[in-house]
Chain A
């Protein structure tokens, strides 16, 4: 059974359909990319999967359970994490605190213990700090640990955005253009991180504009245009598809 199933989902904004009858399946451990021109509905797709928008029609299932109407925090608790296209970090907090916030649901202690900062509160904080430090190491963010996120350069903030989603220890990771606006070197690092995340068993749904990257690392590709899936399959197949070439030529040529 597919880990994520999106069944003919329609999402409209005042008459304009951002998604029309979109269906998609993602298997456990897969790396699936979603491509398409600007305004195709890619971000909207992630918005309905992560619960920020609820579709007017259609259903969404995660690990066999319906999440169509669930709120973002309920969906996060089930194991879906998301890195936003427009960085949505907590700018008044440090990198470390941003990642610790992602451990919110793992920090199971009560108000009284928190108020004296002893016993379970102290233990859990230290334990989760360790988990967060592993991610900081992995994403090579050590120099920025205690820096306020608002003061960091764009490329680093993008990386913190992914690191924070990873700190949720998700089963399914949704990445919305994690490499957009990055330098070539930063992009290469990000690709390395994504491949490593997948190798550790996390399912990844990636939205990306760089077709070279997409064709290189994806198991399967979905192509969206005007809110509709116009092609789906392994990268080499999709690249040959006439409609895809048209859609891309129409936009990029």
Chain B
């Protein structure tokens, strides 16, 4: 028998083995080691740093969902922040009733999935730009509706209670740590779920309607149902992300779920690599870190009192960097960070051999 650790290629010998996610032993072990690293990481970081990781994790859940709808199924969605908002407001209504957070999370996801299903209905008839308008319409209606509902404080802050888990209370000191682990667990679970779907008929059906929905129809699947499924599943992930974000920020306000955020998630998906699982993590990681660094940089410039023709350079830096990065990616690396990741991985797969 071949030494599984020295394996540099695909030597699968049964159909069952061929369905497995990891090509080599090393890949599986690397992932487990990385997860172990993520588990201990917060112990070495400040509260603010852990908060930044929390954001990356929560955004990853939302971007993963967007990737399901837009990346894998090819259905453009520029209302992901609104789906997140549906989850968040579900949490704002349910959590104060005393429901535990681990129940609120899936419930928020389900309510968002229901809205995803409804918003997906136009996708049965229209595509591309027209579908983009339909999802944008949902975003607008969502913002308007929240702004007019006294139940939701018309978009003003709704308090979220602190969470507790079997007697363990998330207080002031450990709040960010608590939500780090809760978000990490949720993200790993949802990513694993979707990675599994990808090797079943559900995952293949998503790509089929993206590549050629006529042919998908000829394969005996209802393309319409597949599209509704893609919208509902993507919105479920957004809803879950919304609940996490609500708990994390200890309040729900409409500003966190407006159109600009939908664009941000789309940018994260593109920078990470549209239609890739790993890209759903790389995109948020990269753009959040960029944002944080730009913020420090702009604070520095502010402290120096530097300005050009009366324009506050410091405040302009963040949106400028954000926009520039997206344009650069679209121009030079449309496959996103995922492509870099792929190159690095194939290098290590055959390491220490050259090829």
Contacts and interface: CB of A to CB of B under 8 A. Distances in A.
Does B bind A? yes
Interface of A: 50, 52, 71-73, 76-77, 81-82, 84, 88-93, 97, 100-105, 107, 109, 111, 114-117, 121-122, 125-126, 129-130, 133, 164, 168
Contacts of B223: 73
A92 B210 contact: yes
Interface in B14-55: 15-16, 18-19
Given A91-B211, A115-B193, A116-B196, A104 B15 contact: no
Contact of A50 (B19, B197, B216, B218): B218
Most buried by B among A77, A81, A115: A115
Contact of B196 (A103, A107, A117): A117
Nearest to A92: B211
B259 interface: no
A101 B196 contact: no
B207 A122 contact: no
A105 B200 contact: no
A162 B187 CA distance: 41
A85 to B, nearest CB: 13
B312 interface: no
25 contacts: A52-B214, A71-B222, A72-B214, A72-B217, A73-B217, A73-B221, A77-B220, A88-B214, A88-B215, A89-B212, A92-B211, A93-B204, A101-B208, A102-B220, A104-B204, A107-B200, A111-B197, A111-B202, A117-B196, A121-B200, A122-B16, A129-B15, A133-B15, A164-B219, A168-B220
A77 B218 CA distance: 9
Given A101-B204, A104-B219, A168-B219, 16 more contacts: A72-B217, A81-B218, A89-B212, A89-B215, A97-B207, A100-B201, A101-B205, A101-B208, A104-B201, A107-B200, A107-B201, A114-B200, A115-B196, A116-B193, A117-B196, A129-B19
Judged by DSSP, the binding face of A is helix
B199 interface: yes
Interface of B: 15-16, 18-19, 193, 196-197, 199-205, 207-208, 210-212, 214-223
B199 A104 contact: no
Contacts of B204: 93, 97, 100-101, 104
A125 B18 CA distance: 11
B197 A114 contact: yes
B15 A93 contact: no
A125 B19 contact: yes
A151 to B, nearest CB: 14
Contacts of A84: 215, 218
Given A100-B204, A122-B16, A126-B16, A73 B220 contact: yes
B202 A114 contact: yes
A93 B211 contact: yes
A125 B212 CA distance: 23
Judged by DSSP, the binding face of B is helix
B19 A117 contact: yes
Nearest to B197: A114
Nearest to B72: A92
Q: Which 9 A-B pairs have the closest CB atoms?
A: A114-B200, A76-B220, A72-B217, A117-B196, A90-B211, A88-B215, A105-B220, A107-B201, A129-B15
Nearest to B201: A107
B200 A117 contact: yes
Contacts of A168: 219-220
B221 A105 contact: yes
A133 B220 CA distance: 20
A115 B192 CA distance: 8
A57 B196 CA distance: 46
Contacts of B212: 88-91
A116 B196 CA distance: 6
Contacts of B16: 122, 126
Contact of A73 (B196, B200, B219): B219
B221 to A, nearest CB: 5
A84 B18 CA distance: 30
Contacts of B197: 111, 114-115
A117 B194 CA distance: 10
A224 to B, nearest CB: 22
Contacts of A105: 220-221
B345 to A, nearest CB: 17
A73 B15 CA distance: 28
Given A107-B200, A111-B202, A125-B199, A93 B215 contact: no
